Amino acid sequence: MPWIDACALVDIEEEDLVRLDHEGRTYAVYRISGEEVYCTDGLCTHEKVHLADGLVIDHTIECPKHNGQFDVRTGAAIRSPACEALSTYPARVVDGRVHVEIP
């Protein structure tokens, strides 16, 4: 899979995320602190609500509608009503830009 230039690192606040739409799919790109970044599918596995409006607490993303929670490092669902894991994708910072490896 190719590495995609998602955004500048400074475009994402620490403990926050942004939405990334690419090739008809939608993703969530997270910045936890410094250059620690992650990427997951953008839609909650429970009801397909976009996670971009959710809250990042430590390494957890909380769905903005139902409080389903996922670990952004592994995609694991850690609080119902989220039961299925999110897909995760490699992410890195290169020269102040966030790159993600997505299909």
Partner 1 sequence: MDPVRLITFPMERDYSLTGPERQNAFDKGLAGAEWYRTPVDRKVLKSLMKRTDWPATRDIAIWVAVLVGSGAGGILLWGSWWALPFFFVYGVFYASAADSRWHECGHGTAFKTRWKNDAVYELASFLLMRNSVVWRWSHARHHTDTIIVGRDPEIAGMRPPQLIVLCLNLFGIVAVPQSLAALARNAAGILPPDEADLIPESERDNAIRVGRIHIAIYVLVALVSLWSWSLLPLMIIGLPRAYGIWLLLVMGLPQHLGLAEDVLDYRINSRTVLMNPILRFIYLNMNYHIEHHMYPMVPYHALPKLREVVKHDLPAPNPSLWNAWSEIIPCVLRQLRDPRHFIRPQLPEGAGVWEPVRSNQTA
Least separation in angstroms between residue 60's CB and partner 1 is 10
Contact call for residue 87 and partner 1 (CB under 8 A): no
| Binding span for partner 1 by CB under 8 A among 31-39, 75-83, 86-94, 95-103 | 75-83
Distance between CA atoms of residues 65 and 99, nearest Å: 28
* 53 makes contact with partner 1 (CB under 8 A): yes
Residue 80 interacts with partner 1 (CB under 8 A): yes or no: yes
81 binds partner 1 (CB under 8 A): yes
Between CA 86 and CA 24 the distance in angstroms is 17
Q: How many CA atoms lie within 13 A of 33 on its CB side?
A: 4
11 binds partner 1 (CB under 8 A): no
Q: Report the C-alpha gap between 82 and 76 in whole angstroms.
A: 9
CB hemisphere CA count around 94 (13 angstroms): 10
- Residues in touch with partner 1 (CB under 8 A): 13, 16, 46-48, 53-55, 57, 62, 64-67, 69, 79-81, 83
